[in-house]
Amino acid sequence: MSMIEQATIGVLALQGDFREHAAMLESLGARVVKVRRPSELAGLDGIVLPGGESTTMIKLLDAFELEQPLREAIAAGLPAYGSCAGLILLADRLEDGIEGQRTLGGLDVTARRNSFGRQVDSSEAWLSAPALGADVAAGQAPVHAVFIRAPWIEQTGPAVQVLASVDTPAGQRAVAVRQGHLLATSFHPEVSSDTRVHGLFLEMVRQSAQAAR
């Protein structure tokens, strides 16, 4: 890691709400690099895959020759956090994707696109997530989760830790998960003032750097 005190975090900046992620990370003391080309992956301590449109993102990753280098970096252990479309990019398996839709993979989950409906059906919820310091039972403030054309997680592998779930007509579905160096949320913490998700990611980056020493 470049400096434990100031992690260098890439934010994929091809499409979507990358500016909001960058601003939140900078508010927490990280150095942010907006990633648009393969050379900008060098020297990163972690990367954020923002919300946006997942099918457009994978096409742009291919067009900018970023898809394979990013897939290899994540597989090699680069800490990554994906929100909404970023969760879809990290998922190993996808339901309701367009024909032939690819992901970067790494996260042993099955994600279902647009599970909460169209953009006009976007919703909000208050989530208990003890791993984020949001344990309602312990009197800690819940996480304000904003879902915008969001996926949810249909299935998780044995190594995946579910951090938060919501009740849906189909039963409880995971909306925040962690697996080793990977973190993903269905919702958009970057549009709120709650920094706990990004704070957890920066702690994961710190732990990854220490383990690599």
Q: Which residues are tagged catalytic?
A: 84, 188, 190
- The answer to whether the beta carbons of residues 155 and 182 sit under 8 Å apart is no
Please tell me what DSSP assigns to residue 27.
H
| Two structure tokens written together for 149 | 């054309």
Give the residue carrying structure tokens 């990358």: 18
Strands 31-35 and 161-168: unpaired
The DSSP bridge partners found for residue 134 are 129
Question: Taking the mean position of all CA atoms in its chain, how far away is CA 155?
Answer: 17
The DSSP bridge partners found for residue 175 are none
CA 149/CA 167 separation, integer angstroms: 17
Query: In what helix (H) or strand (E) does residue 183 lie, and over which residues does it extend?
Result: strand 182-185
14: three-class secondary structure by DSSP: coil
